[in-house]
Chain A
Amino acid sequence: MTEKIADNLVIRIKDLTKNFQMGDTVVHALKGISFDLEHGDYMSIMGTSGSGKSTLLNILGCLDIPSGGQYYLDGLAVATMNDGQLSAVRRKKIGFIFQSFNLLGQLSVLENISVPLFYQGWSEKDSRARSTQLAKLVGLGHRLSHRPTELSGGQCQRVAIARALANEPSLIFADEPTGNLDTATGWEIMQILDELASQGRSIILVTHERDVAEHAKRIIHLMDGLIDSDERK
């Protein structure tokens, strides 16, 4: 169902809660989160482990559904979608970048970038053209047929970024993108993300490091399942 919300919003969440059953006890991971995100916003979510930031990320990324509350992504009411619908949303609207890259080891760089397009039903020809273009964008045009095992950490993360852009997503999620990289390489990756943000892409960055979070224009601090602070630069 599409509710008419303001055109400039890519995310609206209201009173989002998430509970987990752990044996006999119920864990309240999120106790009521609300915020809006405009198109082109560059936001970080910070918090220690146990603050609920991973849980929030999973829900925002449509990998999980909330126990209560509302979530509108690009106007779509996502909170009550079933698995098939959520898969479609991920396919069309979301790009993921993970801490451990999560590339498919038996596929080449080009094929890795094409995976989202595969599930969208793109032809091989079109898929290859787009992936090549994206690979060049992240500076890996000369490594198209290499396997992830043959690449450095930084190069792997670039491939992941290219992949995240493949389906022209409304929103990019980066979960600790520099966590497995050294300082210098991490900085390079952040440069790329900053560049994407300046081009008008909506980006949510999840991290526990202050200096990484500072790259964004808005920082939300989570504590104990609730928003502790919401700063804008």
Chain B
Amino acid sequence: MLHLLYKIKRVGKLGAVSLIEHKLRSFLTALGIIFGVSSVIAMLAIGEGASYEAREQIRSMGSTNIIIRSRKPEDSGSSTQSQSRLSIYGLTYDDVMRIRTLYPDVNIHVPAREITARLRYLDVRLPGMVIGTVPWFLEKSSLRVHSGRFIDEYDVESISNAVVLTEETAHALFPLEYPLGKNIYLGDKAFHVVGVVSASSKKNNKEKKSGKDVYQVYVSISSAKQRFGETIVKQETGSFSMERVELHQLTLTAPTDEAVVSLANSVRSTLQYYHKEADFEITVPLELLRQAEQTKRIFNIVLGSIAAISLLVGGIGIMNIMLASVTERTREIGIRRALGATRADIILQFLTEALLLSLAGGVIGVGLGVSVPAVVSHFAGLTTIVKMDSLILAFTISVLIGMIFGIYPAFRAAALSPIEALRHE
């Protein structure tokens, strides 16, 4: 046994010396493996990172949540004519009552009612979004109270003029002053600032409406309804239309993950029964999550196939070079055989070279595969996650490739007749 290890060590050294003799050729041969291994690891890391981001986003929407939004139905009639129309659409409080009655286990959030209005403090004027909501909106959202307080029960019951600003809005309206206690105008209505909230993630604060940033403020849902009316007037060129939406969004939370999908279908049929037009849409984050994972699985399979092909190509490259090397060293093989090398000795020699090549390629490939995602992360800002599995897998495969594609040339070398080999130029 010891003798065998000793022999392997010596043949290994012999192989290494031979490879170093022809540095460029060895390097070019190993390139296939290097690219194969590094691209597998890098692509899987990028894919994993992207998938992670997607899943986190969906997760933040709540895996047991069902989000129902009012949606303006498609225009049935010509839109080129100048007409004034009143369109009533979307979710109503009646819908809320129905859902409450039919699904008592379900937790209902009525987060918001949105009204576009201009915000004004002294000389500062900003495009704004007034969100009429309920006190428990705070705990369900990703907002925290920064200073002062949020809308409370009293605001809702007394239809008070309390307004809560987002941090961005507070900075924009009050660059130099402390906002709490001041009076601002939402549209032409006066409101009193009672608090400032900030977001825990960057994504929630600014809503882009027609490309411009809009500043958000919160009032009680009753104030919104009373002061801004139920009718919203929008002006579009050529015509002007009025919209009346009671509720922009409704969030339901199912008791368990398993119940979500059937609940969503159930709610959909209930609402469809009472709504003549398709004026709402239902988003189920859990379904999105499952789709995202399915997509990721497919993505990984595609990547895996591409990587397999590139490793195959790398292996063929190795075989090619080894075959050329065998041909080139025919004389050498003949000499060694004449001096007493067995067929097995020759096979071992050439197989070791192929193995060393693919090992070296594997190691360099792993090194590259780990550093490329880091560079991408740094410069492109994408999340990348390198998984240990992919490293081990890629490395093992590169070693296997070396052995498989090195075997044939090694056998060819050993099969040469010593006399013929010696006669070779």
Contacts and interface: CB of A to CB of B under 8 A. Distances in A.
Interface string A114-135: 0110111100100000000000
B109 interface: no
7 contacts: A61-B338, A92-B340, A96-B339, A102-B422, A119-B336, A119-B345, A167-B340
Contacts of A103: 335
Given A63-B337, A90-B340, A102-B338, 5 more contacts: A90-B339, A102-B331, A106-B17, A119-B340, A121-B3
A109 B362 CA distance: 35
B102 interface: no
B18 interface: yes
B10 interface: yes
Given A102-B335, A106-B18, A120 B340 contact: yes
Nearest to B13: A124
A91 interface: yes
B259 to A, nearest CB: 72
Chain B contact-residue range equals: 20 to 34
B296 interface: no
Interface in B315-359: 331-332, 334-345
A87 B7 contact: no
Contacts of A81: none
B17 A91 contact: no
A23 interface: no
Contacts, number: 63
Choose among A88, A92, A96, A120 the residue with the greatest number of B CB atoms under 10 Å from its CB: A96
Closest 10 interchain pairs by CB?
A: A91-B340, A87-B342, A90-B340, A119-B340, A102-B335, A116-B339, A63-B418, A119-B341, A63-B419, A115-B339
Interface residues of A, number: 27
Contact of A163 (B6, B17, B339, B343): B339
B21 interface: yes
A63 B335 CA distance: 11
A84 B346 CA distance: 12
Contact of B342 (A83, A98, A102, A124): A83
Contact of B338 (A90, A121, A167): A90
A52 to B, nearest CB: 14
A103 B339 CA distance: 11
Nearest to B418: A63
A104 B332 contact: yes
Nearest to B14: A118
Contacts of A64: 419
